[in-house]
Structure formats: structure tokens, C-alpha cells
Structure 1
Amino acid sequence: MLSKTDELNQWSNLDHKQQIISKFNSSCSVCGGFHMSSDHWKFMAEDMPKEPVEMIDDLIKMGVYKPNTLKVAQTVNAADIRKTLLLRAAGKGNPQRERLVLELAKQAGGIENAFAAAFGANAGEFFGDVVHNSEFSRRRFLKNLAVGAALVSLTNCAPNQQSQESVTDTANAPVIVDNLEKKDLRIGFIPITCATPIIMSEPLGFYKKYGFNAQVVKMPSWGAVRDSAIAGELDAYHMLAPMPIAMTLGLGSASFGVKLASIENINGQAITVANKYKGKINGPADFKGFNIGVPFPYSMHNLLLRYYLATGGIDPDRDVKIRAVPPPDSIAQLIAGDIDAYLMPDPFNQRAVYEEAGFIHKLTKELWPGHPCCAFAASDNWIDQNPNTFRALNKAIIEAAGYARNPANRVEIAKAISERAFLNQPVEVVEAVLTGNFDDGLGNSRSVPDRIDFDPYPWQSFANWISSQLVRWDLQGDSKVKTAIAADKYEEVGKEIFMTDLARELAVELGQTAPDDIYRTETLEFDTFDPANPQKYVDEQIKKYGV
């Protein structure tokens, strides 16, 4: 119990704090609410209690926020609170400033580090992630809840006459989207980790957030995705990055216009070899005579495999046999000896290690760090008929990709997408892929955090590299590709099919960092690609390697 003297001293100190707050703040001219000035944070650091629960009690007494805010804080993700606070405090509602804030946060090592730098060395302690820790103490929970409640109050316009229960700054708060032409959607996917943003958006609520009743539909092969797209059986689809280019140009099928709306994943593939070849494979030249599986002719897998083999003097069309194998069938064919190796999406590389059927020879990240793999796509006709739906759906996917990009969310995502309805894989296999902590089948425990990553920005340089390799390998053998992608049409093809400007616009609306440039120089393992001179790049490759 406090003595009367102590109580008087406490309230005297409280009056002093209220005077400081009054000095630095004024009511909002729009809502009449309570707003903190930039000097508030100095005051908080110097004069407020150090224990968060005591601080919250002080703030309640001062009327800074109401106890009802605690109810809201329980539903607010701590990471979103930090991000919101940073953007509102430093971005001041200016999109360009907010992009700068996010870029600076990225340079600082993430929102956690940036928040600590901005608001004090102990900020991270207050925001430890206890939600997923079943062993947390009541005290630890109260600390996080208390600080979360404070930030909800401080980062929202709080009218004096209105309860804080109206605050809806939550990660899953519904987004009001006007004039959706269609809400019931069927989105096709292949059960691979490349489809993570598309798949996770169903169980984790990203589709629902944007007003959709969306069903993700598991497809058996890329050929089935292509055929269902052409037949109009799906609204949108998970596609390999080269597929929209190939389909629009009529390569491998009748011409059918498809737009690449955003990139699903970067990296995320590997070359896996049957265990019987352990100790015999050291480089591309050692694959001579192999039967090698890829998921589809018009895939990054096929193009990257050909790129790799050629550097070792292997002609991909003569010295090996490359054939399409649906990813779910790849391990069975490896075990049966129908193929000797494959360049496949995960989790089938990691699953081969798990089943002791093969070993990981090379991650495609090592061939081209940051290379595109899969994409979110829709047909030209469907986009024209459903422009508002398409925009909102693409935004949901881009937001999901941003969520998946945060390593802190990967374990949660692995559990969500491993289930039978989606990947139907052991959760430890999917978790090994998404976290980058894995065994390679050669006795090595590796840590590669960006083994797979999620960056939705569709660089035009991606499109130009893909087109250059379609020209180089002329997969149909009748020069149709070379005719369709003439030396002066690389840029035209890319800008027609890759929706780079829209992806940037939606990312900025979501508070994500998006580049201003549409081209960049791509650095691969064996060369550098200048997107301004794709035909020169092809000519140099053929001259250097003979194919």
C-alpha cells in the first residue's frame, strides 16, 4: 500500500507529465482528437515508467487512451503496429516518404531494427513475438499487450467523444473494394512452394480480406493449367514466368493472351540427382548422357538447366535428354530410374532428400540470385471483363507475397500450406524450404535464408532474359520463336505481357518498397545480362559455348 505522501507525490508527478503533454500537443482540427507531437517520444523515453504495464496504467490515468484499447491490441499484429507507427511518424502520409522509410528500414535490417533505432534500444524487448510461444508467461504477455495498446492509441486519430473500440488497424481488417465484378473465384495452382502467396491467401485470409470467396484449385501439371486457362475454366492462375510470353506468342499452343501480373517467388528451385550418382557429379560436364526432368518446356527450370549445361560443353538437345515431368511425379520417376536428375521446384528437391532418393547438387539461387520462377497471371479477356476484380485480386497476392517475404512468418506459412488440400507434404519438408535450414543429402546441414524468397516486382529485365533464352534454344525447332521475338522486339514483348507499372502501384499502396526502375543488370553465375542488349547476349553465349 502507498502512504498518503507517496500517493500525493505520484499524482504530483502525473500532473507534471500532463503539463508536458499539453505543452507539446493540440487537438486535431479534423476530429478534435488527441495527437502526439514529435517531442512525445523524447518525453516517453525520459519521464515515463520503464515497465510497460506501469506505463500503460499511467497513460490510462492521464487519459491518453482508454482501457478498451486493450481489446483491440489483442488482434493487432505487433509487426504491423511497428510498421504503421514508423510510416505515420516518419512518412507523414506522403507515399514517397513512406517508400523512403521502408527502404531505410530495409537497410537497417528490417522493421525491428529500424523501430529500435527510432524509439529506443529497448523497443524490441517490448515487441517479442509471444503469440506463437505456448510457454510465454502472463507477465510477458501483459507487457506486449500493454505496449501494443499504447501504440494503437498513439497511431490513430482518437476523437475525444469516440471509443477506441472503433480502431480497425489489424492485419486482416477487411478492405472495402467497390464494384467487384466477380467475388466467387477459382484460382489454379501446382502444389509447389513457388505458389506460396497464392495458396496461403486462402487459409490465412488474404482473399477474404479483399472481399473474395476464392477457391484455390490443385492442378496436376502445367499443361493442365495452360489448357484450363484457354478453356476459361479458371479465373486466374499460378504460372511459370515464361508461360505468359509463350502462350501470348503461340509457342506450344494456340496464341492466347495472358498477362503476368506479379511474380510469385524468386529463387526456390534446385538440381537434384539420384543417390546412385553420389561422388560422381561435380559440374555440368558430368551430366552427359543423363535423362533429366523439368516441369514444363516453357519454364525457368528448362531455361536455367540449359544455361548451366551449356557452360560445361553439354549440348542440351544432343548430349542429354530433357523431358517434361509433372513435379508431383518427379520423385517416383527418380526412384524408378526413369530420370537420373531433375531441375524442379521445391518441395520436391527437399522431399527427395527426405525420402533418401536423391541429393541436392545445386540451388538455382547459385545460378542466378534473385531469378524469377513462378507468377500470378490472368488472361487478357478476363482482365478486360473484370478490371476491378483483377486489381483487387492482384493486390491481395502482392500483400501475401510481402507477408511471405518476412522470415518471421515462414514457419506459420509452412504449417498452413503443407496440408492435404494444398501441398500435401510433411510440414518439416516445407519448413526446411521456406526457412532455408536444410540437409542437402550429402551430409551437409545448410542455412540459406533466401533459398526461396518472395518479391512480387516483375522486372522487365526478367522478361528480356526469358525472351533471349527462348530465342537461343528455339524450343519448337522451326524458328517460330526467333520470328516472334525479333532483335528489335524484346522490349515490346516484355512491356506487353509483364505488368510492371501496375505491380509497383499496388505495392506502394500497400506500403511496400517497389523500385522506380523497370530494368536492371542481372548478374548470373557465368555472365552478366544487359537487358538493353538481349540479342547481343544471345550471340555471345552461342559464340562462347557453341550452342
Structure 2
Amino acid sequence: MAVASFNGPSQQWDNLTSQRGNLSELELLCAICGGSHMSRDHWQYMETLPSDPVDMVDDLIKMGLYKPDSFDLADTLSQTELRKQLFLKTVSKGDPKRERLVNDLIKLAGGLDQAFAAAFGPQAGRFFSDAQRISSVTRREFLRNVAVGAALVSLASCTPGGSDAPTAPGDSADVPENLEKTDLKIGFIPITCATPIIMSEPLGFYKKYGLNAEVVKMPSWGAVRDSAIAGELDAYHMLAPMPIAMTLGLGSASFGVKLASIENINGQAITVANRHKGKVNGPADFKGFVMGVPFPYSMHNLLLRYYLATGGLDPDVDVKIRPVPPPDSIAQIVSGDIDAYLMPDPFNQRAVFEEVGFIHKLTKDLWPNHPCCAFAASDQWIDANPNTFRALNKSIIEAAGYASDPANRPEIAKAISERAFLNQPTEVVEAVLTGNFDDGNGNRLEVPDRIGFDPYPWQSFANWISSQLVRWDLQGDGKAKTAIEGKYDEVGQDIFLTDLARELATELGQSPPEEIYKTEKLAFDDFDPADPSQYIQDQIDKYGV
């Protein structure tokens, strides 16, 4: 494996600089770490290393990138251990809290070789291929391989300004006492709405509170619901209407669930297949469409129905709305099984990325700062683990606060894009989180609040959700009206833990509201949480459904 084999990255650098224009080298961000140091030096020092492997190692030692005493370690390690230690050092950056994530990646990739190749490309695979044959090669060849491995390690360890990788704030906080349970499994759907739940694993928010929490990727919201009822998960990423529906026995057997904090606000969109370009300008144009939503008891379904009705359409007659697991949405729009969908991101942006769909409307334009997903746990689990529940909720509320800072979004996008989490191109996830994106219609948009992370569970959110469950009677048996009508506040305050969320946020130095209700200003009306029944009647009178 000659040093010249690293010319590929150099060509990538040249392409990158040509794309960025005629800026001086000092003005460019590092293509690896995002820092503002002399980025091209990464490739130049790789290409100008001595050809003699022993001299190469000496240079790396002088640079401080390789320690001479590592030769002793290398001589004593078996081939498997050598490979694993180099991989762990590279990917975990010496941070023990990331080693479990690395091991999970190894399993997901199907083995160490596949994981390393996935992380670093063919050069790493060739390096390990040579390293496997160490017993049959010369000392000089061995030193060459170790030197190249060290260079890979140095590149992977690169961070802005030469400092350690950015970490979540407050990592040194005291671990809470009297935790009933520390090994936890938290179910999530791979969407950006789950950002605080997902990022809390790789960025250390769970560990800060003494929790060894593993986020478990789930295939659909039905699977989350069923696993919750079966007790297979400790806590869950849920759609905001799900705790209400499950507690009241809508769509499933009654099972008590509490909504502890909101995961995200905004962050959804209506995406339409490219074959309908030029034909869809407003809600009336969706007549006859087959449209996907992630789950019947979702903000997506309720917001889509709200929007369609304003165009004079009956969502149960004039269109066909059907559940589609978010990871399947792109395939179904390509195959023609559905014409459009109201889905969580990154699947709206992914449709644009794949050039199969365009973004018709962001849901923030239907209801600014509407809730979408939430962190939830069952009544039974909370009662059995009150201290653990409090610590877990607090870690997620802190993560939401961290994610609410736009400056942290690129870091978060990189962390959650990994295969173990969203398994999406980082550029797609970053477009969603930063709000700088293409809409598929030739427009480059800047919408900083495309998605937000405000964990406060307003009781007015609960009342609006309940009002729409009554309005649309999704089961068709009137059960929602019987369970909710006349008890809006009671239902909301039993299920949405607003007071606890405020208490934990205040402890974290955040500034949650003192009020629990507010008038919600939607695109086509205002919702007064004090009178949901009148709101429903006004909607029916105005739109006929």
C-alpha cells in the first residue's frame, strides 16, 4: 500500500476548492473537521511523507501523531486485537463512553472489517488486509502499515482548532442517587423528530445522569406501541397524540402512558411526487390522491386533515390517507403506491435529495411551533422507577435545550446521521436541522425554524389534539367523543406532565413558561383551549367536515 494511494483525498480537496470559489486557503474550512486551520496540510503531509517506512514512522513521532512505545504494544497484540484496538482508538477518539457505540456499529456492519471499511473506505481495508499477513512480512512492511494506520487515526481524531471533539455541556455533573434502574432500552423511529432521544446516547447526556441507555431503532409506530404494551422497552419516542390515544384505548387496548416532554416542534412537511409537479398549488388539488402519514394517531394525520378540509375536501372521502412507516415512504412514492405524504424529516428532504419529490408545504406554515413527537413512558414503569424516570426525562430535556441552539446543529446532524441511528446522508440531516435546504422546485430556502426543540408540553397542545380526535372520530365508533368531550382539561393534565417538565427545565437553567395554556394561532384559525367543543363546531360550520 504505497503512500501515493492517498492521492484520492487530494483530488477531493481540489474539487472542493474549485466548488468554493477563489477564496484563499486560510479562509477555507477544513474538509475533515470543519476547523479553520490550514486544511490542505492534511493531504500535503500524507503525500510528502518519506517513502521509507522507518523514516515515515520517525516523522510521525516527531509530529506527535504516533508514540514510539506503541511498537511494544503492537508486538504483543494478536492480529484481531491489533485491528480492534486501532479501530476503537480511531472511532471512539479515546473516549470510553463511545466504545459501546463503536461495538454496536461493528455488529450492524456485519463485522470488524466491514465496519472499518464503512468508516474509512478502501484504504483502511487494504491496511488491515496487509496487517493480517504480519507474520509473513518484513519488519519494514509492518512499520509501513502501522504508520499508515497511525495517519488514519490522526485524520479521524482531527477536530476544529486542534482541540477535542465538541461535547455536550455539563458532562461532569454528579450522577443522581437512588436510581432504580440504569440499563435502559428506549425505542425510537429513525427521524429527526427523535433528535434529543438519539443524540443523548452518542453525546453523553444519558451517561451524565448515571444511565446506560441504549436507543433501539424500531420499524414503525405500531411496533413502538406494541413493544410498549408488551414491556419490551423502558421508554419511548412517541407521536404526541399517541399517549392520549393509548391511555383512552383508541386504536388499541387501553394502556396508560405519560407524555413527559416534547421532542420537537415543527419539523414536518407535505411532500408530493415529482410526477405531479405543476398540478398542486393548494389543498383542493389533492382530491383523488393517495397520501401517506406515519400513523393514524399522529400530528401528521391530524394536520393533514386540518389542511385538506380548508380546501373543501373530506379527508375520509375525497382522498385516501393510509399509514406508511417513514422509512418506506420514499420507496412508496417512487413506486406510485402513494402520490404524496405528510411525513417527518428527513424523508421530505430525502425525497428532494433523490429527485423524486418536492416539498409542497412545511407544517410550521400550518401551525407555527406545533408539537410533533414526544418522550413518553408507561404509568407502570414510572411508578416502579420514579427516580430513573426523572433522571431520564431530565437528560432529554437538557438535550433538547442543547439542540435548540443553531450553533450545535451541524455537530448533532453528524452524530445522529450514523447507520445505527438515522442512517441518512449527513447533508440531508443537516439541511433539515439548519433550515438551509432545496425544496425540489428549484428554490434554495433559509428557514431557521424548520424544526425546533422546545420540550415544554403545553396543555393547549393536548386540548387541540383531543379536539381533533373528537372531530375526525378515527375509529368511527364515537369512542373518542365519549372519552374526551367535557373532560379536555382532565385528560390533558393527566397525560401531559407539564409541571414536571417545567420543574426539570428550571433546574437545568432553562426558562420554561409559568402558564400551561395559551391560544394557539394556526394558519386558518385560532384555537382557544378553554372551549375545544366550540372550536370543533366552528370548523364544521366553516368547512362542512
What TM-score does the superposition give when structure 1 sets the normalisation length? Answer: 0.69
1:481 paired with 2:480, answer yes
Matches within 5 A, 1:239-250: 239-250=238-249
Distance 1:171 1:367 in 2: 36
SS, match of residue 316 in structure 2: coil
Distance 1:175 1:336 in 2: 52
Name the residue aligned to 2:214: 215
Name the residue aligned to 2:341: 342
Distance 1:135 1:466 in 2: 44
Q: Which residue identity does 2:216 align to in structure 1?
A: V
Q: Deviations over 1:170-220 (max 9, x none)?
A: 621133201000000000000000000000000000000000111000000
Matches within 5 A, 1:60-459: 136=161, 171-459=170-458
Name the residue aligned to 1:502: 500
Residue 134 (structure 1) shift = 5.7
Name the residue aligned to 1:519: 517
SS, match of residue 338 in structure 1: coil
Q: Deviations over 1:428-462 (max 9, x none)?
A: 00000000000000000000001000000000000
Distance 1:462 1:342 in 2: 23
Q: Which residue identity does 2:525 align to in structure 1?
A: D
Q: Which residue identity does 2:506 align to in structure 1?
A: V
Change (3 A) 1:376 1:349: same
Change (3 A) 1:135 1:297: closer
Distance 1:348 1:175 in 2: 38
Q: Conserved in 2, the CA contact under 8 Å of 1:174 and 1:208?
A: no
Q: Which residue identity does 1:522 align to in structure 2?
A: E
Distance 1:378 1:304 in 2: 24
Residue 329 (structure 1) shift = 0.1
Distance 2:170 2:341 in 1: 39
Q: Conserved in 2, the CA contact under 8 Å of 1:353 and 1:360?
A: yes
Name the residue aligned to 2:461: 462
Distance 2:222 2:386 in 1: 26
Distance 1:185 1:206 in 2: 13
Q: Deviations over 1:70-128 (max 9, x none)?
A: xxxxxxxxxxxxxxxxxxxxxxxxxxxxxxxxxxxxxxxxxxxxxxxxxxxxxxxxxxx
1:541 paired with 2:539, answer yes
Distance 1:133 1:456 in 2: 33
Q: Which residue identity does 1:307 align to in structure 2?
A: Y
Matches within 5 A, 1:7-22: none
Q: Which residue identity does 1:507 align to in structure 2?
A: A
The count of residues paired between Structure 1 and Structure 2 equals 386
Q: Conserved in 2, the CA contact under 8 Å of 1:296 and 1:324?
A: yes
Q: Which residue identity does 2:528 align to in structure 1?
A: D
Name the residue aligned to 1:128: none
Distance 1:244 1:259 in 2: 6
What TM-score does the superposition give when structure 2 sets the normalisation length? Answer: 0.70
Q: Deviations over 1:34-84 (max 9, x none)?
A: xxxxxxxxxxxxxxxxxxxxxxxxxxxxxxxxxxxxxxxxxxxxxxxxxxx
SS, match of residue 359 in structure 2: strand
Distance 1:171 1:234 in 2: 27
SS, match of residue 185 in structure 1: strand
Give % identity.
81
SS, match of residue 197 in structure 2: helix
Name the residue aligned to 1:29: none
Query: Segments of 4+ in structure 1 off by > 4 A?
Result: 132-136
Change (3 A) 1:135 1:489: closer
Unaligned runs of 5+ residues in structure 1 are 1-131, 142-168
Q: Which residue identity does 1:534 align to in structure 2?
A: P
Name the residue aligned to 1:532: 530
Q: Which residue identity does 2:430 align to in structure 1?
A: E
Q: CA RMSD in A?
A: 1.5
Distance 2:202 2:292 in 1: 31
Q: Deviations over 1:232-261 (max 9, x none)?
A: 000000000000000000000000000000
